[in-house]
Chains A and B, each alone.
Chain A
Amino acid sequence: MANQALPRPHFTGPQPVVGQEVKKRLNPLVKSSDGAVADRVFGWVIMACALVVLAILGLIVWQLVARSQLSWHAFRWKFFSGQDWDPVNDSFGALPFVYGTLVSSLLSLVIAVPLAVGVAVFTTEMCPKWLRGPLSFTTELLAAIPSVIYGLWAIFVLVPILRNYVQPFLAKTLGWTGLFEGPPFGIGMLAAGIILAIMIIPIISSITREVLTVVPQHQREAALALGATRWEMIRLAVLRNARAGIVGGIILGLGRALGETMAVTMVIGNRPEIAKSLFAPGYTMASVLANEFSEAAGDLYLSALIEIGLALFLVTIIVNALARFMVWSVTRGQPARGRA
């Protein structure tokens, strides 16, 4: 090395590393030959992992489609319009399940949306700073509770409350609408809707909070400077700007509600009937899978259940893709942030 001829400058700190010493110290990181080959192998391995993600989706679609063929060929579209679910006579119509899934999910949205948006607005716009962290942590804690525990709580706490207090009250005051008729069992569509609402509030409110925080601060300041009250500022500057993202969060919550299984199965009553009253028991697509899949005897029965699974899968995929797109349309261009 040429510069070794020069006198070495005097350093007081850590001494510079020279010659063989460099190689020895960097040895764990730098090897002379294996770079290109190892790089290529590593690239392949990593690529394979990414391919597995695609393969999983492919596997799901393939298995669901292939194994529901029997039922699809037997019933075609009548499968989704038939009301008769009779495994003994091999007669399968999924309409009561579709109805139950839609009604319970929509009911849960009606309850959850105002609450979730209210909480999100409070945490981002109104509450004192010290309360913000604990509050969002607590709401997210709701998301960490397993579905089966919600169901357990619903059976032993929510259902008795509904049966003894809420349902008699609703029947007396709103009975004329026809939505709140019949004997107050506690168990039924209303209980399912409420427990679902409690379960989807965290997801809607955390997405809403996320899109509210990306509304530029100067929008708020502009509204306030024009003399708006705080509520007018929130309505005009914040909520209006974040509209699409909030709707996206709501649709994401809907996707969650559609596929939710355990808590609903435990309180909805599991009877394949279509009733107008929300007090009546119902059945959802996910709960019929949970209850009957492991006991399904006969190929057609199993195939019909898998077709319900396929329908559920397709609906949730469409709903989720829509939601992701809407959230993305608001938050794009923002720096990536950890969600944790």
Chain B
Amino acid sequence: MGSLRGAVPETATLQPRQRVLEISLWRRTADYLATGFAITTVILVLAPLVAIFAYLVYKGIGSINISFLTQIPKPPGEVGGGMANAIAGSVVILAIASVLGVPLGIGAGIYLAEYGRNRFGDTVRFVSDVLNGVPSIVIGIVAYAIVVLRQKHFSALAGGVALAIMMVPTITRTTEEMLLLVPNVLREAAYGLGVPRWRTTLSIVLRTATSGIITGVMLAFARVAGETAPLLFTAFGNQYWNWRLEQPTAALPLQIFTYAISPYDDWHRQAWAGALVLIILIVSSVAAVRYVVRRGTLGGVA
């Protein structure tokens, strides 16, 4: 700065009002206040997160035991029993949802990325964004209308259909985003070798973006794994073991809901235990997602 100051004309330094370094007390205070406010918001936002996790672990750890993981619920008011059937039911429903939703979502994503540079593609893109925002309870109504009313039964299948409908738009958009990251050079190289387009898409483009697509699929999975609202009148819940797809089935989130609003202390305890089991399932999949992402979205190219 010293050398620069020498170049400034003499007249400039003679006018005190033009000194630029002076910052008024008010402006400095405003700056401090803004910084303080921002830090306060961070603390206020992190507080409930910490509180929720602390409570989950504190209440949940003490409540999980062998019988919780291996037994089915006892009649209302009796102490003991567990949520084994609900955990199994959740797995079945999520499996149905994944089998239906994942291929559809990836297929639609491939269409958008590889063929969708036209008005039809724009429509599909917009519709899947819209579907992403549809409340889950509304999707429950639709699954009720198209599956439950037809079968005349609440069923695991209906629950799976509802969750699949929720998975499709998320997977579609992330798949598209990931495929668009694949450099065109790879496609051109494959065409240049005489590889047909479908083979290029599946074996070159899709393969390259695999880890990114897995990320998208797992995010969608984590999102629907905790969904309760669409299962209320599709899977409905069940106090007993059930392996048949066309019968009402218990699910972990449903069981947590029922137990949480019940008047029994032992059911409250089990609700916390169920919540901990559910969150462990979900957080571990989110962590797995982070791991995959850190290894590089386009690991195949680099």
Contacts and interface: CB of A to CB of B under 8 A. Distances in A.
Interface of A: 26, 29-31, 34-36, 38-39, 41-43, 45-50, 52-54, 56-57, 59-60, 63-64, 67, 114-119, 121-122, 126, 135, 137-139, 141-142, 144-153, 155-157, 198, 201, 205, 227, 229-232, 234-235, 252, 255-256, 258-262, 266, 286, 289-290, 293-294, 305-306, 309, 312-313, 316-317, 319-321, 324, 336-340
B137 A286 contact: yes
A296 B139 CA distance: 18
A49 B199 contact: no
Given A42-B201, A50-B112, A53-B172, A118 B195 contact: no
- Most chain-B CB neighbours within 10 Å: which of A42, A227, A258, A293? A42
A52 B105 CA distance: 9
Interface stretch (B67-75, B80-88, B239-247, B279-287): B279-287
A177 B155 CA distance: 49
A150 B279 CA distance: 11
Contact of A46 (B45, B107, B293): B107
A164 B101 CA distance: 46
B253 A146 contact: yes
Given A229-B28, A262-B257, A336-B181, A290 B232 contact: yes
A334 B179 CA distance: 17
A133 to B, nearest CB: 10
Interface in B127-182: 127-142, 144-146, 154, 165, 168-169, 172, 174, 177-178, 180-181
B215 interface: yes
A315 to B, nearest CB: 9
Contact of A152 (B23, B111, B219, B275): B275
B205 interface: no
Interface string B173-215: 0100110110000000010011111110111000000001001
Nearest to A146: B226
A50 B134 contact: no
Given A53-B169, A122-B41, A312-B138, A29 B199 contact: yes
A338 B297 contact: yes
B135 A259 contact: yes
Nearest to B176: A336
B146 A126 contact: no
Interface stretch (B6-14, B48-56, B91-99): B48-56
A150 B181 CA distance: 36
B301 to A, nearest CB: 14
Given A29-B195, A146-B278, A340-B293, A119 B107 contact: no
The 3 lowest CB-CB distance pairs between A and B, nearest first, are A146-B226, A259-B135, A49-B107
B224 to A, nearest CB: 10
Contact of B27 (A142, A232, A252): A232
B40 interface: yes
A52 B108 CA distance: 8
Nearest to A235: B34
Nearest to B222: A144
B250 interface: no
A300 to B, nearest CB: 16
B66 interface: no
B111 A255 contact: no
B69 to A, nearest CB: 18
B282 A30 contact: no
A137 B49 CA distance: 12
Interface in B15-33: 20, 23, 27-28, 30-31, 33
B40 A57 contact: no
A227 B31 CA distance: 13
29 contacts: A29-B193, A29-B199, A29-B203, A49-B108, A50-B124, A53-B108, A53-B168, A60-B142, A63-B146, A114-B41, A118-B37, A122-B42, A126-B35, A137-B290, A144-B222, A145-B52, A148-B256, A150-B52, A153-B55, A153-B56, A156-B55, A201-B45, A227-B23, A229-B28, A229-B30, A261-B137, A262-B229, A262-B257, A340-B289
Contacts of A289: 137, 140-141
A48 B103 CA distance: 12
Contacts of B272: 152
Given A198-B48, A261-B135, A148 B194 contact: no
Contacts of A117: 41
A152 B256 contact: yes
A146 B297 CA distance: 26
Contacts of A144: 222-223, 282-283, 286
A258 B279 contact: no
Contacts of B46: 138
A30 B232 contact: no
Contacts of B271: 152
A252 B197 CA distance: 38
B136 A152 contact: no
B138 A259 contact: yes
A56 B229 contact: no
